[in-house]
């Protein structure tokens, strides 16, 4: 069975390639902001929002590729009960990182597999991250060094790069923090016969 990643995420693709999982990437073109707003207006929790977005992406691409097993993925940041979205520019990123500085937040990573436009499996994991009380000078250096690459992630950091220096404590699965809870996914792909058991 063909396996499709419904995402343009470079970290997710890198993880799958590193694990030697054969896949094709087809980004899901959905209006995430509108869907997110509708879910929050209905009183859905942060974890529900992450799962709903992952499912919507999987279903959307599965309609285009009904012959494939399609993986949708999403990650949301919960800061004191507020769902935070990706930043549009480095000015917004700086503002967000100043809000998170010295504080704790939760990252929820959700996965959904779909076949013939029907969700057949879901999984989500939560990681708790505490940013250290870094200096303004460090923040300036960080944003200059990392540049617009930080805008790809919901928290404006990449744990696999200099973003690791932002934290004093990280509790959770490394792959989940990167946006792809790998071990549960591999187990399901083995069960489906996509990779060898």
Q: Which of 194, 192, 69 is nearest to 119 (CA)?
A: 69
Cβ 1 vs Cβ 62: under 8 Å:
no
Cα-based torsion angle of the residue sequence 46, 50, 55, 60 in order, rounded to the nearest 10 degrees: 120
| Residue of 31, 48, 74, 78 with catalytic role | 74
Rounded to 10 deg, the angle between the 90-100 and 136-146 helix axes is 140
Q: Give the pairing type, strands 2-5 and 167-171.
A: unpaired
Question: Is 74 assigned a catalytic role?
Answer: yes
What's the CA gap between 71 and 23, in Å, rounded? 10
Q: Which of 109, 127, 125 is nearest to 54 (CA)?
A: 109
Tell me whether residue 43 is exposed, middle or buried, using C-beta atoms within 10 angstroms of its C-beta: 0 to 12, 13 to 18, 19 or more: exposed
**Sign, Cα dihedral of 142, 170, 161, 77:** negative
* Residues tagged active-site: 74
């Amino acid at each position: 069975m063909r396996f499709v990643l419904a995402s343009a995420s470079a970290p997710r693709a890198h993880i799958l390639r590193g694990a030697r999982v054969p896949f094709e990437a087809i980004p899901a073109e959905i209006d995430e902001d509108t869907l997110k707003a509708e879910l929050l207006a209905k009183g859905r929790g942060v974890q529900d929002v992450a799962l709903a977005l992952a499912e919507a992406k999987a279903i959307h691409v599965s309609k285009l590729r009904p012959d494939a097993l399609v993986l949708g993925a999403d990650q949301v940041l919960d800061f004191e009960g507020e769902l935070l979205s990706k930043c549009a520019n480095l000015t917004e990123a700086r503002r967000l990182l100043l809000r998170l500085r010295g504080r704790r937040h939760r990252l929820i990573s959700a996965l959904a597999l779909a076949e013939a436009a029907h969700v057949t499996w879901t999984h989500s994991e939560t990681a708790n991250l505490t940013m250290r009380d870094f200096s303004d000078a460090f923040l300036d250096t960080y944003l200059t060094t990392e540049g617009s690459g930080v805008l790809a992630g919901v928290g404006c950091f990449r744990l696999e790069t200099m973003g690791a220096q932002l934290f004093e404590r990280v509790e959770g699965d490394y792959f989940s923090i990167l946006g792809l809870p790998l071990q549960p996914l591999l187990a399901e792909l083995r069960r489906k016969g996509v990779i060898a058991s």
